[in-house]
Every structure is written in structure tokens, then in C-alpha cells.
Structure 1
């Protein structure tokens, strides 16, 4: 790789070879170009042996590494990493090798970050992305505790929060939500990360089916033609009503393997973002206040929030640019 003060770039090497081919002595050409005769002979020799390819930059990595850690030891390092989730400082003494060597081995095999490993299996996480918008939409439900009127204990403290909770529970005859749970239904497009969410009262099959109809209309309104929907194995998603709702709209239904939420990872990660940037972003004084704030979060997420998987652009940019080409 050429450095900024290099005497010879690829263009300079071609010029060197052309001057030598014209019949001029290598020593004279080297002096003119400010390089040693040995360097000039090296590039001429490479050109004669390999042609134009010989003038290109190449890796400085040696062809052989006699003192490299044996393959069996590297395999044992990887095994300890996957099975016991140990770091270099723990693996080194077990195998009798320096921790720095262990770190290089883990880096070579893509195991140097525990966050890159699937915790149950210890295997490297395989990330994927569908090629076009609507090819696959992830759907899931996040369960959240309701907030009593006046605020919960996070807002006003334990004592006042308990009083608000008891007061809200006694208002069962009113239209206000009693203490219990709200269910955030979400749909996220795999390619664009465009998201749609609603806070609903339950997770029954009728509720899930109605939510998908509204979510489908949302994606269609943004020019996204949904082809498949991926869900977990919740009872509402296993119902005939939900599957029929999808098939009537020409959408295929696919469910993940049991106990493998990583497969539905796009919406699972979106759920974490919901908690951090909406549900727990500030202290709300009522359930209605938190629910009303969801619309502003979704607008921010879809139109303004930078997404690392999209080259620092918001999801709507990929909807308008399906190829996903960013500068």
C-alpha cells in the first residue's frame, strides 16, 4: 500500500518500466525518479514475471508464518469462547498462552466480541437483510404495564404511586384504563426498517388480525408491497383468523422456530428502541399520555432518526431508494 510520500505509485511504476523498455539503463532511470537501483530492478523484475498485475499494490503479509499458533490450539480457544463465554484473560492461563495471542485468535475467527455471539448457542450471529421493500415484514407484540392517572412510582415515588394505582383501579365503571397491561403491536419491514405500531388492549386473534389490516394499509400507502409476514408462535398468530387475514390479502405467513426470537430480530430490536426512546424515555403521568406520545416517536423513527444499518439514514430514505445505495 503506497504511503503519502511514496516515490512510486502504480502510475510511476508503469513509467519506470516504459523507460527501461525503451532501452535506457535501469541505474539512470532510478536516479531520475529518486529511487534506488534495487527498487527499480525489483519492479522491472515483477513486471517481467507477472505483467501488469505485478505493478499493483499487494499485501505485505508473509506467505508463511512458521510461529503461528497451531490450529488445534486455535480450535480450543474458539471452543472455550463459545461454550463458556470466557475472555482472553481467562482463556490464556487455561491453555498456557498469552492473553494477547488469544485476542488475536478470537479476532481472526470473529469471536472477539460477545455481543456478536448468540448467547444460547455461542455461534456467531448471522445477520441478513431482504433485498427489496415488502419482501418480509416482522410482526410482534410487546407487553407494557399501564400507568395510573397521576403517575406511577417511577414518577411520584412509591407511596404516592400506590395511591394513584389504587384510585385508578376503583374507577372500573369509567372509560379510563384500569391497572393492567397494554399491548404494543408492531410491524417492521425487513429491508427498509419502516415501522408501524399501535397500543391495543389485548393480544387476541381478532385484535392481531385487525392490527395487521391497518399495518398493511400503512405499508401500501408508502408504496411497499408486502409479500410475507414473519411472526413468533403466539396463540393469536397461530389462529386461523390471522392466517386467513394474510392469505386473503395475498400475503404469505411464516412463523419462526420455537424459542428462536433471533429470527424475528428486526422487530425484537425495534421493541428495545420503543422502550428506550418512547415508553421509558420520560416519566408519564398517565397511560393516555404515553399512548399519545407514540405517534411522535414513530414519525421521528421513520422520517428523521438515523439508522446504522441504513448508512446513517432514516427508514423513509430506503423506501424512496430501494437499492439502498448511500454515499
Structure 2
């Protein structure tokens, strides 16, 4: 996992210069004073990070006709998409600051958010409680479309989905088109919620999640 400060520089570099290739984003990031010039930045990792935040332009981030046909379900619950977005830092019990990760689900047909929550990790252990709450609130989906990362390819998640009768589908590497709907939701959430967070909102993980869900239910839905 990349350090939080490096992630911020990568995202800021791409946002300021949308036409930069992944290699040029890496090169510019390594020039930043907060980034060690010998830090390994694998292009595949950086590409995935930028795509997750909706920052890859051109053919890599536009929905193709094939992807629209593949993910164009008509009824609620036919397919959910899930992904993770880097969130703000929060204070925890010992008053230190920790990076957060937003784990979210979106219904392909309705754009409803079955559930979303900030966590202190982005692994399977953090993912499953959020998935459980989504099911409690909206019922079982027929299909779950997720990233190709290691946390989504765990045997535990595969076993859980198999027992529930949920078809687990993984995105193809370097092809983020199928996740366009949840990427757009992340972009909306950043523009409408994250920029308005107060110190009280980030005073604890619980406070941050209360603020998130108040926005989802009160403004987004």
C-alpha cells in the first residue's frame, strides 16, 4: 500500500495535468519534496489508483458499447458494484490520526447505495461487515462486481459469496470501464461531501460514518 501522502501527490499531479501518462505522473511525483526519489511506484499500481479515482481519461475510462451492454441491468439487485476509495484521516482513541478507506456498494439498475462506510483498512476483513450491512438493508444481490485486487480475490470472500448464492465477478485488469457508475458516485461524493467535512466530522471514525450516511440518505438518495 502506498503512503497516504504519496497517494495525495499522485492524485493532485494527475488532476492538475489530466493529459499526463502514468509514467509522467510517476516522474513528476518523484520530484515532489514529500516523496522519496527512490520510492518504488509500479505503473500498474499507479494506474489502478488513478482509475479508481476517475482520473484516467480517454479510452481507459470511457464506457464502451460492450461494457454498457454487459452492465445494463433493469431491476434492483441484479448486480451490485463495489469498490474502495481513499478517504480523509480521522482521529482514533489515542488521538493519533489514521487514514480511512471508503468501502461502497452501488446498485447497477437504480444507482441506490445499499451501504457504504469508511474503514481503517481496505482488506477482506474490513469489506465483509460493510457487505453484510448492505445485504441487511437491501437484500441479496444476484451478482457482485468487484475490483481485481488481492482483497477481492480472497478465498474467504469467494466462499461467502458461494454460500449466499451471489455470483462474484472480477473486473479485468486495466479495464475500469465496467466500474464507471461507482467511480462517478465517488466523484460526486468527493465534490458534495468530502470538501464540506468539518473537524467534528473527522473527529472519529464513527462521526465520519454518521456524516457520510446523513449525506447518502438526506442528499444523494
Please give the per-residue CA displacement for 1:292-313, whole angstroms capped at 9, x wherever unaligned: 211211102453xxxxxxxxxx
Please give the residue correspondences for 1:48-197 in structure 2 after superposition, counting only pairs within 5 Å.
119-120=58-59, 125-126=64-65, 127-128=68-69, 129-147=72-90, 175-176=93-94, 178-195=96-113, 196-197=115-116
Distance between the aligned counterparts of 1:123 and 1:178, measured in 2?
A: 40
Distance between the aligned counterparts of 2:112 and 2:60, measured in 1?
A: 30
Distance between the aligned counterparts of 2:112 and 2:85, measured in 1?
A: 18
Comparing both chains, which one has the higher relative contact order based on Cα–Cα distances under 8 Å and sequence gaps of 6 or more? 2
Q: Is the 8 A contact 2:90 2:100 kept in 1?
A: no
Residues 200, 210 of structure 1: CA spacing in aligned structure 2 closer, same or farther, 3 A cutoff? same
Greater strand share, structure number:
2
Q: Match for 2:180 among 265, 272, 284?
A: 265
Residues 284, 261 of structure 1: CA spacing in aligned structure 2 closer, same or farther, 3 A cutoff? farther
Say how many residue pairs are matched: 159
Q: Which runs of 4+ in 1 moved over 6 A?
A: none
Q: Match for 1:208 among 112, 121, 127?
A: 127
User: For 1:133, what is the secondary structure of its paired residue?
Assistant: coil
Unaligned runs of 5+ in 2: 1-18, 20-55
Residues 214, 239 of structure 1: CA spacing in aligned structure 2 closer, same or farther, 3 A cutoff? same
TM-score, normalised by the number of residues in structure 1: 0.44
TM-score, normalised by the number of residues in structure 2: 0.63
Unaligned runs of 5+ in 1: 1-83, 85-116, 149-173, 304-327
